[in-house]
């Protein structure tokens, strides 16, 4: 695999982790900060004032982050050098998820 492939996988993984950490911090503070592209204006959506908008934006932010992490891990299955590590990681994660729901 070439340099561009690894850069893409790592960039998607790091972006996904950052989005998950942001969503966790938004959840802890109770305020979701929505910024608008091309402007310095931001809108603060508070959990107590607008709960539907808050939870909608927070859940989309978390889903995008988890999706990015999953997408980058999914890319790893196509690289033979890390395929064994990938399969062990997926098996471990699936076992832990099954333990959570049983």
| 46 token code pair | 């508070």
Query: DSSP character for 81?
Result: T
pLDDT tens, 76-100?
777 777 888 888 888 898 899 899 8
Domain locations in the chain as residue ranges: 3-77
The predicted model scores a pTM of 0.73
Residue 68: pLDDT above 90?
yes
Q: Give me the chain's average pLDDT, please.
A: 88
Structural contact between residues 67 and 17, judged by C-beta atoms closer than 8 angstroms: no
pLDDT tens, 6-51?
888 889 999 999 999 999 999 999 999 888 887 888 889 999 999 9
Residue 1: pLDDT above 70?
no
The residue to which tokens 């539907």 are assigned: 52
């Amino acid at each position: 695999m070439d340099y561009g492939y690894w850069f893409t996988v790592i960039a998607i993984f790091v972006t996904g982790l950052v989005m998950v950490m942001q969503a966790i911090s938004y959840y802890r503070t109770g305020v979701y900060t929505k910024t608008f592209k091309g402007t310095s204006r931001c809108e603060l959506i508070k959990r107590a004032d607008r709960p539907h908008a808050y939870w909608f934006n927070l859940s989309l932010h978390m889903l995008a982050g988890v999706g990015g992490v999953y997408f980058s891990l999914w890319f790893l299955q196509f690289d033979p050098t890390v395929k064994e590590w990938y399969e062990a990681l997926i098996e471990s994660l699936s076992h832990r998820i099954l333990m959570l729901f049983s």
